[in-house]
Amino acid sequence: MRDSELLAETEGELGEARPPLTTLVRLERVEKEFPGPDGKAVQALAPIDLEIARREQVALAGPSGSGKSTLLNILAGIILPSRGRVWVNGVAVDSLSESARDRFRGRSIGYVYQNFNLLSGFTALENVLLAMGFSRAGQKGHFQRAGELLERVGLGHRLRHRPAQLSSGEQQRVAIARALANQPPLLLADEPTASLDFWTGRMILELLLEVSYQAGATLVVASHDRDLLTRFGRVVEVGQLQQGSRKVLTNSVLSG
Amino acid sequence: MSVWNIAWRNLRSRPIQSWLTVTVVAIGLALGLSMFLISQGLREGLARVTQPYDLIIGAKGSPTQLVLSSLFLQDKPGHNLTFDFYASLLGDKRVAQAIPLAMGDSAAGYWVVGTNQEYFNLTARPGGPPVWRLAEGRFFERPFEAVLGAQVARKLGLKPGDRLPSSHGLVADLEEGKNQPNEEESGGQTGIDDHHRSFPYAVVGILQPTFGPGDQGIYVDRRSYWEIHAHDREVNDLPGLEGKEPGGITAVLVKPTSYTAAYQLYQEINAGPVAQVVFPAQVVTKLFDFLGQAETLLEGISLVVLFLATLSIIISLYSAALERRRDLAVLRALGASRATLMKIVLVEAALVASLGSLLGVALAHILAQILSWLIYDGSALHITTRFLPEELGVTLGIVVLGLVAGLLPAIRAYRSEVAKNLVL
């Protein structure tokens, strides 16, 4: 299914509400609850409104448990919000069927995790190829492109290495190359530096900022590392505010 | 990257588990299939051996023993028939051909079959080529000339012009513990006694292999027996032999003139007190029944092993699906659908089952070949273990079984949660 078809799928009653083209992400009063052990709903993400422009680089801040990862998973279409609307790249993600969300994710989302999430049985090159397989199956030039992506993250000499043969910094580089495999408009990163030492973390962050900029992708990074947040022009505080509130912090507010 | 590729890599990433499962499938299949191949081959082989012989007549006793001793050269021969009886058969209008067999002596561990030259004209079907053809030399023409079965010649390294001694019963084998001599019947003689040793046979011909038990026989003129056993005759004074043609006939191969004649002979002789008539094919069918019981048992065993193999596929893939919860979640996060994950696990199951059944078929044929060599070595009965059309069906069946076994793990993979497993 092409993007236009995905768009068509959410047309109709939702069509008129679609956000303008300069906006990549729009959340309207999005919240998430999970059933707790006693059967009562536990709030995982307090209601949030958020708009992110194309090519913007945004940090999601907040302590652990504030709902940063939940928000990223909602953006990726991995989980659905309990309430509210989610548009990504013009697609109303919350109204897609599960298989349509799988296709949407394969095509429109690159995701980098704290624990890298590389497949241990596959080489660096194959990990990147895997991502390509699920979105544009059967396309030629995959090998070359996967090689180029690894080259771009500085791993041109490690194509045939398996994750266990790579340092943690190198593994995260593979994960970044994999996230870029399908030239997604939205790149998500959940605590991408938390498993790395300080300097490696810094390098990885710079790499993320650089490659997402070069690729023309919007970058949303969730982190509780205040130091890291200073590299972003916009920081969104998640989960600390009362229901219905929304707060967007700027760098000057943070440092001031 | 295709589903096949991912499934294959998944299997390779846990080689011990995968190979163990493949091996269990292979053994389960090989066990059942090799026995099936052997019993099929055995049926064909046994049936082939009896083809040239319509009726066998021997002294009263066990029909199975009569067939085993005279056609398969496996059992000790029973008592002898009188010459009068043989003469009456020759004079019977319902008998087209009656070939005498004198048995009981052995040479170098092989039975010596005393007969006449008609024996070498036997055909598997009317008008067909003779069963026995010479590889070397000529057929015997007078007493104490011997024509050797192919296996005898090969194993003893004999050629025309060589000599070999004979003895009463399979005495030479006693030392090897290979067969059962009948020294009790010959008055408790053991070892190659001097009396027989003084009548060595001259090898005049070697037969081409027939890949039947006949390859283990030494064929001599029936009159040799007569002369060797002159001594026994004096001692035991067998009834019906005095002053007559040479006797000592153990069995007679009879070709009746018609089907009706065969049944008349069968009923008449079996009703009388002297001899029994046997349809070799009938006796072999009884052996098949016995074989069938063993087959049923082995079928049961191999079904149990196949059941265990199915279980082991389920366990292996299910535990792999649990172990790889995170990997499956990552694939989902990369855009793979639940159905794709299910396909991957099912393909893994199909790959394990296919590899297992291919290996099993190969193993079954190797096993069957080894068994057929052992059987040929022991009985000269050649068992062909060719590929049977049933094998394709069995192989496909195993793959289907594998897919069924993969269903539960596939459903497990289908239902795995993404968000929770991504942070494992």
Q: How confident is the model at residue B372 (pLDDT cuts 50, 70, 90)?
A: confident
Q: Give the minimum alpha-carbon distance from A129 to chain B in angstroms, rounded to a whole number.
A: 6
Residue from B405, B414, B416 nearest B349 by CA: B405
Determine the Cα–Cα distance for residues B281 and B49; give it in Å rounded to an integer.
9
Nearest CA in chain A to B419: A78
Nearest CA in chain B to A115: B423
Beta-carbon separation of A111 and B13 below 8 A: no
> Given B327, B335, B423, which is nearest A119 (Cβ)?
B327
Q: How confident is the model at residue B342 (pLDDT cuts 50, 70, 90)?
A: very high
Q: pLDDT over 90 for what percent of chain B?
A: 8
Long-range contacts (CB closer than 8 Å, 24 or more residues apart) made by B180-189: B180/B75, B180/B76, B181/B76, B181/B106, B182/B76, B182/B77, B182/B104, B185/B104, B186/B104, B186/B232, B187/B235
Per-residue model confidence (pLDDT) at position A97: 92
Q: Which residues of B touch A78 (CB under 8 A)?
A: 332-333, 418-419, 422
> Given A78, A114, A118, which is nearest B418 (Cβ)?
A78
Beta-carbon separation of B332 and A102 below 8 A: yes
Per-residue model confidence (pLDDT) at position A136: 53
pLDDT at A82 over 90: yes
Residue from B120, B87, B58 nearest B276 by CA: B58
Beta-carbon separation of A134 and B335 below 8 A: yes
Q: How confident is the model at residue B343 (pLDDT cuts 50, 70, 90)?
A: very high
Determine the Cα–Cα distance for residues B240 and B237; give it in Å rounded to an integer.
9
Q: How confident is the model at residue A135 (pLDDT cuts 50, 70, 90)?
A: low
Question: Which of the listed ranges A58-62, A251-255, B75-79 does the model predict with the highest average pLDDT?
Answer: A58-62
Beta-carbon separation of B423 and A134 below 8 A: no
Beta-carbon separation of B419 and A73 below 8 A: yes
The residue length of chain A stands at 256
Per-residue model confidence (pLDDT) at position A252: 36
Per-residue model confidence (pLDDT) at position B171: 42
Q: Which of A38-42, B39-43, B142-146 has the lowest mean pLDDT?
A: B39-43
Instruction: Give the tens place of pLDDT for each residue, A182-207.
Output: 899 999 999 999 888 999 999 999 99
Q: Which residues of A touch B327 (CB under 8 A)?
A: 119-121
Rg (CA), chain B: 31
Beta-carbon separation of A132 and B418 below 8 A: no
Residue A122 DSSP one-character state? S
Determine the Cα–Cα distance for residues B28 and B39; give it in Å rounded to an integer.
17
Q: pLDDT over 70 for what percent of chain A?
A: 82
Average pLDDT value for residue range B28-41: 83
Q: Which of B72-81, B88-97, B225-234, B372-381 has the lowest mean pLDDT?
A: B225-234
Per-residue model confidence (pLDDT) at position B379: 74
Q: How confident is the model at residue B247 (pLDDT cuts 50, 70, 90)?
A: low
Per-residue model confidence (pLDDT) at position B359: 94
Half-sphere exposure of A71 (CA within 13 A, CB side): 34
Half-sphere exposure of B93 (CA within 13 A, CB side): 1
Determine the Cα–Cα distance for residues B262 and B280; give it in Å rounded to an integer.
12
Higher per-residue confidence, A68 vs B126 = A68
Instruction: Give the tens place of pLDDT for each residue, B299-338.
Output: 788 788 888 888 888 888 888 888 888 888 899 888 888 9
Q: Which of A48-57, A224-233, B112-121, B189-198 has the lowest mean pLDDT?
A: B189-198
Average pLDDT value for residue range B371-399: 82
Residue from B328, B316, B317 nearest B420 by CA: B328
Q: Are A176 and A142 in contact (CB under 8 A)?
A: no
Average pLDDT value for residue range B197-219: 83
Beta-carbon separation of B334 and A105 below 8 A: yes
Per-residue model confidence (pLDDT) at position A17: 56
Q: How confident is the model at residue B182 (pLDDT cuts 50, 70, 90)?
A: very low
B182-193 residues labelled b (16+ CB within 10 A) or e (exposed): bbeebeebeebe
Higher per-residue confidence, A173 vs A227 = A173
Q: Which of A237-241, B60-64, B312-316 has the lowest mean pLDDT?
A: A237-241
Q: Give the minimum alpha-carbon distance from A37 to chain B in angstroms, rounded to a whole number.
A: 16
Beta-carbon separation of A99 and B9 below 8 A: no
Q: Which residues of B touch A119 (CB under 8 A)?
A: 327, 330-331
Residue from B384, B50, B382 nearest B208 by CA: B382
Q: How confident is the model at residue B382 (pLDDT cuts 50, 70, 90)?
A: confident
Q: Which residues of B touch A64 (CB under 8 A)?
A: none
Tokens 């265990």, located at residue: B308
Q: Which residues of B touch A97 (CB under 8 A)?
A: none
Q: How confident is the model at residue B229 (pLDDT cuts 50, 70, 90)?
A: low
Count other C-beta atoms under 10 Å from residue B124's C-beta: 15
Per-residue model confidence (pLDDT) at position B326: 87
Beta-carbon separation of A126 and B12 below 8 A: no
Tell me whether residue B127 is exposed, middle or buried, using C-beta atoms within 10 angstroms of its C-beta: 0 to 12, 13 to 18, 19 or more. exposed
Q: Are B214 and B149 in contact (CB under 8 A)?
A: yes
Residue from B253, B232, B313 nearest B57 by CA: B253
Determine the Cα–Cα distance for residues A189 and A222; give it in Å rounded to an integer.
6
Mean pLDDT score across all residues of chain A: 83
Per-residue model confidence (pLDDT) at position B424: 62
* DSSP H helices in B272-388: 280-323, 325-333, 338-379
Q: Are A116 and A163 in contact (CB under 8 A)?
A: yes
Nearest CA in chain B to A70: B419
Beta-carbon separation of B1 and A121 below 8 A: no
Q: How confident is the model at residue A150 (pLDDT cuts 50, 70, 90)?
A: very high
Q: Which residues of A touch B330 (CB under 8 A)?
A: 117-119
pLDDT at B236 over 80: no
Mutate to test the interface with B, among A78, A93, A119 (most CBs of B within 10 A): A119
Q: Give the minimum alpha-carbon distance from A87 to chain B in angstroms, rounded to a whole number.
A: 18
Per-residue model confidence (pLDDT) at position B80: 83
Which residues touch A180 (CB under 8 Å, ≥6 apart)?
A110, A149, A152, A187, A211, A215, A217
Give all domains of chain A, ordered by start, each with its CATH number: 3-120+183-255 (3.40.50.300)
Average pLDDT value for residue range A123-145: 79
> Given B9, B335, B423, which is nearest A121 (Cβ)?
B9
Instruction: Measure CA A93 to chain center.
Output: 14
Q: Which residues of A touch B6 (CB under 8 A)?
A: 130, 133
Per-residue model confidence (pLDDT) at position A255: 38
Q: Which of A175-189, B67-81, B205-219 has the lowest mean pLDDT?
A: B67-81
Higher per-residue confidence, A87 vs B283 = A87
Residue B254 DSSP one-character state? E
Mutate to test the interface with A, among B334, B344, B414 (most CBs of A within 10 A): B334
- Token pair for B288: 């098949």
- Decide if the complex's ipTM is over 0.95: no
Average pLDDT value for residue range A121-130: 90
List, as one string, the DSSP characters of A61-103.
Answer: E--TTSSHHHHHHHHTTSS--SEEEEEETTEEGGGS-HHHHHH
Per-residue model confidence (pLDDT) at position B143: 83
Determine the Cα–Cα distance for residues A87 and B398; give it in Å rounded to an integer.
48
Per-residue model confidence (pLDDT) at position B96: 87
Per-residue model confidence (pLDDT) at position B111: 87
Q: Which residues of A touch B10 (CB under 8 A)?
A: 121
Determine the Cα–Cα distance for residues B76 and B69; give it in Å rounded to an integer.
6
Per-residue model confidence (pLDDT) at position A6: 54
Per-residue model confidence (pLDDT) at position A3: 52
Using the Cα atoms of residue B140, residue B146, residue B149 and residue B153 in order, give the sign of their dihedral: negative
Half-sphere exposure of B381 (CA within 13 A, CB side): 23
Q: Which of B22-31, B162-171, B383-392 has the lowest mean pLDDT?
A: B162-171
Average pLDDT value for residue range A162-191: 93
> Given B329, B334, B422, which is nearest A134 (Cβ)?
B334
Average pLDDT value for residue range B201-222: 87
Average pLDDT value for residue range B357-362: 92
